[in-house]
Copies of this chain bind each other. A is one copy, B any other.
Amino acid sequence: MDTIQSDNYPIYFDNSIAELAGFVARGKYTNVFILTDENTGQHCLPLLQERLGDNFDLIEVNAGEESKTIDFCIGIWKTLIDFGADRGSLLINLGGGVITDMGGFVASTYKRGIDFVHVPTTLLSQVDASVGGKTGVDVDGIKNIVGTFTQPKAVFMVADFLQTLPPRQVLSGLAEMLKHGLICDADYWNTLKVSDLTVPSAELVHRSVQIKNQVVIEDPTEKGIRKSLNFGHTIGHAVETYSLLNDADHLSHGEAIAVGMICEAWLANQKTGLPDEDLAEITAVLTTLYPPYKIAADCHKDLYALMQKDKKNYGGKINCTLLTHIGQYSVDNNCTEDELCDSLKYYAAL
């Protein structure tokens, strides 16, 4: 498959590990670090070691969203200091979105910026986190509240890593792929609807990355068109944070975004003219793929409070990216607390 050219960096799909080895060799880096978690360290690192040898230092953090905090960043910065990492160092982020978001932030700020590349190992990080130059970590439980816009030097997609993912991890990434279709490619949405999505094909992943890449190249710092990617995320992020704080077995990112897309499709039907049949179709596809999440009426207030803290807001107003049709979006739709709560009720009544 074609290498996709992003904002001054390539996204490789074929022979990616060999491409990574070549990249490292050409870069003449003084130090090479691999940031990973214990799962990825066990399952994916050996493939890299076959090509890279042992010419790197390993930094391992605990797996899970709980690690994506500023406190873990401090630990990684201290490790880089202790290893004598200088400005000629490279950080390879090998893992899911937690690793790529956090590793990107650490690298973009260590000594005011060292080179980093991503080797995303989950479907979600391949189709979403690893492309677009957003880095970020959580502070005080608020997702991605601190971060930078910094592009990696390259991204290496390895299709093999997706073969052994647990089904919930696949569903988590799939939500973003479905979103890519919903916001700007009805044909792609229609293809996804009828595809075997147990393990999405490399071609489908490639198409999602193409869509996301087109959007972020046009608008790297989220002033305009990039807001299209926020469809499902105003409510979805709040649901995700709420679940992380309250549920023992909390929702994955994509599971929460699926909830958010159903609610925001309902809002779109109310506010931006999304036809009834499109709302029905989106609801049917998503509720078939994703298990229901119970949202009690007494947590609407908490969810609304979380939405208010979302970094996408401006001037105290909550603005949603909605749809006008499947495949067409509309940004900056101000939604009231009542409207947002009504959309949660629509979801709860399904």
Please report A residues at the B interface, Cβ cutoff 8 Å: 30, 70, 74, 77-78, 81, 84, 86-88, 105, 108-113, 134-136, 139-140, 142, 144-149, 221-222, 308-309, 311-316
The 5 A-B pairs of least Cβ separation, nearest first, read: A111-B311, A30-B315, A112-B147, A109-B146, A77-B139
Q: Give Cα A148 to B109, complex, Å.
A: 5
Contact A314 B136 (CB under 8 A): no
Contact A109 B147 (CB under 8 A): yes
Given contacts A77-B146, A146-B77, are A308 and B109 in contact (CB under 8 A)?
no
Given contacts A109-B146, A109-B147, A148-B112, are A139 and B81 in contact (CB under 8 A)?
yes
Stoichiometry, copies per complex = 2
Give every chain B residue within 8 A of A113 (Cβ-Cβ): 148-149, 221
Q: Which residue of B lies closest to A112 (CB)?
A: B147
Q: Give Cα A147 to B88, complex, Å.
A: 16
Sample (7) of A-B pairs whose CB atoms are under 8 Å apart: A70-B70, A77-B146, A81-B145, A88-B315, A110-B145, A112-B136, A148-B148
Contact B316 A30 (CB under 8 A): yes
Q: Give Cα A316 to B84, complex, Å.
A: 8
Give every chain B residue within 8 A of A140 (Cβ-Cβ): 77-78, 81
Shortest beta-carbon distance, A221 to chain B, in Å? 8
Task: Find the residue from A81, A105, A135, A316 having the highest chain B CB count within 10 A.
Answer: A81
Given contacts A88-B315, A314-B86, are A109 and B109 in contact (CB under 8 A)?
yes
Q: Give Cα A88 to B312, complex, Å.
A: 10
Shortest beta-carbon distance, A95 to chain B, in Å? 21
Contact A145 B111 (CB under 8 A): yes
